[in-house]
Amino acid sequence: MIYELYYWPGIQGRGEFVRLALEEAAVEYLDVARLPKRDGMGVAAMMRLMAGAETAKPMFAPPFLKHGEVVIGQTANILHYLGPRLGLAPRAETERLWAHQLQLTIADLVNEVHDTHHPIATTLYYEEQKAPAVKRAADFRKNRLPKFLDYFEQVLNANAGRGNYMVGGRLSYVDLSVFQLLEGLRYGFPRAMSQLEPGYPGLIALHDRIAVRPRIAAYLQSKRRIAFNEDGIFRRYPELDR
């Protein structure tokens, strides 16, 4: 069965964490909303699934994954499902739950990144909430971002005896997600990250190892990798990175 990923076609967003796992595993998948409408794909197909037209379990928002009769929403939940099937999760249940917990913590940070440019409402344009965004971003850079990075560095160091990975002794989807997280933070907050990165040698080394993995490196150079832009979660607004 081919995996079907449903996510907005013009942004990396939360869907990119799933794409990286699928690309690393070299499995066949359809990025449905990016495919032609004439083939029954495109955003319309995604909206039909969200509306519950094709499943008794309608999805609230993308990303979601369809695998045969299974339909799963929420990034961390999707990766919890994919991890064992793609060889990107530990075998022991307790370790899989630990990986899931870390992924949920990554999701918390991603949400806080989003709220730096949309601190009041997602229905308002950034320009309509720029002043509150500047204040929110300042607190994020000073307090919240270091707190999360401190934690992830601590987790990595605590696992050093088992390997240079976040969970267990081999690559997992959590490592791929940390890579994507750092990529996004470098894009959205280049000044802040240049100042912070020397304090997190383990995380930066992990990022660099992921970047040169053959399948990931090929994906990053391909047209399948959508460029960061100011419609996604990680956005570059200079006034938020002072």
Number of alpha carbons in the 13 Å side-chain half-sphere of residue 60? 3
pLDDT for 53 equals 67
User: Collapsing DSSP states into helix, strand and coil, what is residue 23?
Assistant: helix
pLDDT for 113 equals 98
Closest CA to 83 of 143, 140, 20: 20
What's the CATH number for 3-86? 3.40.30.10
Looking at the domain 93-213, which fold is it?
A: Glutathione S-transferase Yfyf (Class Pi); Chain A, domain 2 (1.20.1050)
- Structure confidence at residue 180 as a pLDDT band (50, 70, 90): very high
Place of tokens 């990053």: 220
Q: What is the mean predicted confidence (pLDDT) over 37-62?
A: 86
- Structure confidence at residue 51 as a pLDDT band (50, 70, 90): confident
pTM of the model: 0.96
Does 190 sit behind a cis peptide bond, omega within 30 degrees of 0 on the bond before it? no
Number of alpha carbons in the 13 Å side-chain half-sphere of residue 242? 7
User: Collapsing DSSP states into helix, strand and coil, what is residue 51?
Assistant: coil
Q: What integer best gives the mean pLDDT of the chain?
A: 96
Q: Which residues pair with 30 in a beta bridge?
A: 4
Q: Where are the domains of the chain?
A: 3-86, 93-213
In angstroms, the CA 166 to CA 205 distance is 12
In angstroms, the CA 202 to CA 196 distance is 13
